[in-house]
Amino acid sequence: MTTPTTSSPTTDEEDLPHTKDTGDPFDRDVLPTPPGATAALLRSLLAPMKARVALTTLLLLLQQAAVQAGPLLVAYAIDRAVPAFRADDHGPLVAVAVGYLVCALASGGLQYAFLIASARVNQDVLLDLRGRIFRHAQALSIDFHERYTSGRLISRSTTDVESLRELLSEGLQELVTVILSFLYISAMLLWLDLGLGAVAVASFVPLYLLVRVYRQRAGRVYRVRSTAIAAVIVKFVETMNGIRPVRAFRREAVNEAEFRVLNRRHERTNGDALLEMARYVVGSRLVANTAVAGIVLWGAYRVAGGSLELGVLAAAVLYLRRLYDPIDRLGMFLNSYQSAAASLEKIAGLLAQTPSVPEPSVPRELPARRSELPGREVVFDGVGFGYRTGGEVLPPFDLTLPAGQTVAVVGSTGAGKSTLAKLLARFYDPTAGRVLLDGVDLRDLAMAELRRGVVMVTQEAFLFSGTVAENIAIGRPDASREEIERAAKAIGAHEFISALPDGYDTDVRKRGGRISAGQRQLVAFARALLADPAVLILDEATSSLDIPGERAVQAAMATVLKGRTAVVIAHRLSTVEIADRVLVMEHGRIVEDGSPDRLIAGTGRFADLHRAWRDSLA
């Protein structure tokens, strides 16, 4: 199963990964999260807002104090204020009523302040996190994107961030509330009556055990569930990304069957999670109700015997209800905690990835371009290469392309032409040797300078949302309209662009702005020309053009390639006619190297190819 790496409208076979997609987005094997990365991520997210986190905690602490004063006031009312009221002293009862009201108002106000403060913290954390995911994923090298599908990236920045949001917005508050009320209430109960307090505290032991068992079991279930939901998303995205081949090869039924399996698996794990939850809720209620029943029974016995005041018993029962109430919700919190922990771990794994093609720490500058020497010299010095997933693709070789030379690279499918080009554009670093641009190792060049110096146009010809003009100007955003049009004219794209509904201002993603594969290539070509690189690589860049279109580009090529070093990869040999030099590749090796005339006159592979091509034209 192959997986698309971009949401490109075409399916570029060449850039599809050759790794096997396990369909398991948790992917410990593909992307293990280094130990400690999750905690470090959490710390780095919260570090900038320490003060605000402290403030929110304080607000919650105060709010809990206000809430938990209630039963105490009830006890006071029953045992002191009501008897005083009977003795015509109204003061204490009024004080209790006022006190109750004040506590209620204070707790409401504090809760409001807390919700606003915590929402701000959460928003900033999530904003930061999603930004980091995008920035990081975009900065990672091509080979990462070949292993990690776009579906996975989407599920990282949607589902995973959302589950963190759930935790932060509800779960965390829940946990702190539960812990605080446990502390407050235990202290109150023990203070009110040591015996009753001790019984209540003793009931924590089975509850704690219950929570522990639940955490373990639910943890397992949630891990499986988060894998299952991500598999559903990956399948969905992949199918829709590849909707054209899906249609073309009538894969709908197969896809649907595969999707049904994944969808069912996800629902099943949901059912498992609910079952665990139900067991936990029933168990915790059982413990809680048994404890309350025991306390009521024992308390009533003691009240009858005169060793306990009725108000204290009433307060104890009220406290116990409040104590056990949030335990159901604690289960809920543990759920969101589990899935958020799994999500955070996956996000941390992604963020811990380092680009395999890193920016140099101390970049070197390219020597100034001497005007009498057009382009830049390219040297492959003992370069060897193999993709991460396979064996050696290019055995070590040396190759020098003098500045300004136009080199055609031909050879059969899979020979390694595109691989050579991608090494020159530094999409990958060679596994052996170095690629030099005017004597500077590509690894020592700042990415910005490299991208200015070396531009590669591929068959894919991806267009971004925006206008045609914007798409042409990508390599040089400050280009004037005149320069954009000049570039388009030079490669013969001006006519079709002018014929679009809004000409150069046509939005390529809107109705009427849809342009054909060949036209896309022309736009990509104009883009490369406008970027004016010292080294231009064309990898099947004209493969979608019709013969007149290619002829037009051919005619323009002489001007386009003048003043730069060019590597032209093409199956159609017409492209080769303008080359100064031809390289023939077979199985990763350069087997022929010479001027086109010399090679055609010879008896080698290129002579054969050329003869076959000429015959096909006749």
Ligand X SMILES: Nc1ncnc2c1ncn2[C@@H]1O[C@H](COP(=O)(O)OP(=O)(O)OP(=O)(O)O)[C@@H](O)[C@H]1O
What letter represents residue 376's amino acid?
R
Residues 6+ apart with CB under 8 A from 124: 49
Q: Does 165 bind ligand X (CB under 6 A)?
A: no
Determine contact, residues 357/428, Cβ cutoff 8 Å: yes
List the structure tokens of 333: 């919190």
Q: Does 418 bind ligand X (CB under 6 A)?
A: yes
Of the candidate spans 72-80, 188-196, 415-423, 523-531, the one that interacts with ligand X by CB under 6 A turns out to be 415-423
Of the candidate spans 11-19, 488-496, 553-561, 603-611, the one that interacts with Mg ion by CB under 5 A turns out to be 11-19
Nearer to ligand X, 6 or 389 (CB): 389
Instruction: Give the CA distances from residue 618 to residues 23, 468, 572, 614, in Å, rounded to whole numbers and listed in that order.
Output: 50, 38, 15, 7
Helix axes 194-202, 252-305, angle to 10 degrees: 160
Least Cβ distance, residue 546 to ligand X (angstroms): 20
> How crowded is residue 488: how many other Cβ atoms within 10 Å of its Cβ?
26
Number of residues near Mg ion (by CB under 5 A): 2
β pairing state of 432-437 and 440-441: antiparallel
Of the candidate spans 312-320, 416-424, 425-433, 585-593, the one that interacts with Mg ion by CB under 5 A turns out to be 416-424
Nearest partner of 118 among 161, 60, 61, judged by Cα: 60
Distance CA 34, CA 353 (A): 9
Work out what residue 433 binds among Mg ion, ligand X, none; the CB cut-off runs from 5 to 8 Å by kind: none
Least Cβ distance, residue 64 to ligand X (angstroms): 57
Nearer to Mg ion, 350 or 415 (CB): 415
Least Cβ distance, residue 241 to Mg ion (angstroms): 21
Least Cβ distance, residue 415 to Mg ion (angstroms): 8
Number of residues near ligand X (by CB under 6 A): 16
Nearer to Mg ion, 556 or 585 (CB): 585
Work out what residue 273 binds among ligand X, Mg ion, none; the CB cut-off runs from 5 to 8 Å by kind: none
Q: Hey, is 330 helix, strand or coil?
A: helix
Residues 6+ apart with CB under 8 A from 546: 518
What letter represents residue 492's amino acid?
G
Least Cβ distance, residue 534 to Mg ion (angstroms): 23
Work out what residue 18 binds among ligand X, Mg ion, none; the CB cut-off runs from 5 to 8 Å by kind: ligand X
Q: Does 417 bind ligand X (CB under 6 A)?
A: yes
Nearer to Mg ion, 16 or 82 (CB): 16
Instruction: Give the CA distances from residue 540 to residues 25, 402, 593, in Å, rounded to whole numbers and listed in that order.
Output: 33, 22, 20
Q: Does 542 bind Mg ion (CB under 5 A)?
A: no
Work out what residue 387 binds among Mg ion, ligand X, none; the CB cut-off runs from 5 to 8 Å by kind: ligand X
Least Cβ distance, residue 14 to Mg ion (angstroms): 5
Nearer to Mg ion, 531 or 538 (CB): 538
> How crowded is residue 419: how many other Cβ atoms within 10 Å of its Cβ?
20
Position of minimal CB gap to Mg ion? 418
The site string for ligand X over 33-62 (x = CB under 6 A, - otherwise) reads: ------------------------------
Q: Does 307 bind ligand X (CB under 6 A)?
A: no
Distance CA 19, CA 491 (A): 37
Least Cβ distance, residue 417 to Mg ion (angstroms): 5
Of the candidate spans 35-43, 142-150, 417-425, 529-537, the one that interacts with Mg ion by CB under 5 A turns out to be 417-425
Nearer to ligand X, 351 or 583 (CB): 583
Instruction: Give the CA distances from residue 409 to residues 386, 487, 537, 555, 579, in Å, rounded to whole numbers and listed in that order.
Output: 19, 25, 10, 19, 9
The site string for ligand X over 433-472 (x = CB under 6 A, - otherwise) reads: ----------------------------------------
Distance CA 294, CA 349 (A): 50
Handedness of CA 325, 330, 336, 340 (dihedral sign): positive
Distance CA 553, CA 558 (A): 9
CB-facing half-sphere around the CA of 445: CA atoms within 13 A: 23
The site string for ligand X over 373-412 (x = CB under 6 A, - otherwise) reads: --------------x-xx--x-----------------x-
Work out what residue 413 binds among Mg ion, ligand X, none; the CB cut-off runs from 5 to 8 Å by kind: ligand X
Determine contact, residues 223/342, Cβ cutoff 8 Å: yes
> Which position among 18, 90, 285, 514 is part of the footprint of ligand X (CB under 6 A)?
18
**Longest Cα–Cα distance in the chain:** 125
Work out what residue 389 binds among ligand X, Mg ion, none; the CB cut-off runs from 5 to 8 Å by kind: ligand X
Nearer to ligand X, 19 or 203 (CB): 19
Least Cβ distance, residue 422 to Mg ion (angstroms): 9
Q: Does 305 bind ligand X (CB under 6 A)?
A: no
Distance CA 530, CA 504 (A): 15
> Which position among 414, 503, 594, 604 is part of the footprint of ligand X (CB under 6 A)?
414
Q: Does 14 bind ligand X (CB under 6 A)?
A: yes
Q: Does 146 bind ligand X (CB under 6 A)?
A: yes
Residues 6+ apart with CB under 8 A from 265: 228, 231
Distance CA 23, CA 460 (A): 26
What letter represents residue 190's amino acid?
L
Of the candidate spans 9-17, 187-195, 246-254, 275-283, the one that interacts with Mg ion by CB under 5 A turns out to be 9-17
255 Cα distance to chain centroid: 24
> Which position among 361, 413, 603, 616 is part of the footprint of ligand X (CB under 6 A)?
413
Determine contact, residues 474/438, Cβ cutoff 8 Å: no
Q: Does 418 bind Mg ion (CB under 5 A)?
A: yes
Which alpha helices (H) appear in 161-251, and where do they start and end?
161-166, 172-192, 194-202, 204-241, 243-248
Q: Does 586 bind ligand X (CB under 6 A)?
A: no
Q: Hey, is 493 helix, strand or coil?
A: coil
Least Cβ distance, residue 14 to ligand X (angstroms): 5
By 3-state DSSP, what share of the chain in percent is helix, strand and coil, each rounded to 5? 65, 10, 25
Residues that bind ligand X (CB under 6 A): 14, 17-18, 146, 387, 389-390, 393, 411, 413-419
Q: Which residues bind Mg ion (CB under 5 A)?
A: 14, 418
